[in-house]
């Protein structure tokens, strides 16, 4: 039962991470110096905030289920 839930959470976690905005391309501009706004403190809003919170929740659920399965 827990293995099935872990599999579903894993697939959802992978899908939601792929939906997040591509911040890797922004960090690649550090070398070239092309992005001055990279280290500015920007707030997530709307769908970005929702996706971040879902990612956090799924990550915590994944960790807890994995830990429970490890202890068993």
- On whether the CB atoms of residues 70 and 2 are closer than 8 A, the answer is no
pLDDT tens for residues 28-56? 555 665 555 556 666 778 888 899 999 99
Mean pLDDT of 42-71: 91
Residue 19: what pLDDT?
A: 86
CA distance 45 to 48: 6
Residue 24: what pLDDT?
A: 55
The enclosing H or E element of 14 equals: helix 2-19
Is residue 5 over pLDDT 70? yes
- On whether the CB atoms of residues 58 and 9 are closer than 8 A, the answer is yes
Residue 7: what pLDDT?
A: 97
Indicate the burial class of 66 (C-beta count within 10 angstroms; 0-12, 13-18, 19 or more).
middle
């Amino acid at each position: 039962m827990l293995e099935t839930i872990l599999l579903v959470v894993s697939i959802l976690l992978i899908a939601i991470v792929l939906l997040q905005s591509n911040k890797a391309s922004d960090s690649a501009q550090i070398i070239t110096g092309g992005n001055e706004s990279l280290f500015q403190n920007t707030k997530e809003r709307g769908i970005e905030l929702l996706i971040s919170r879902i990612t956090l929740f799924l990550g915590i659920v994944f960790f807890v289920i994995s830990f429970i399965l490890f202890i068993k």
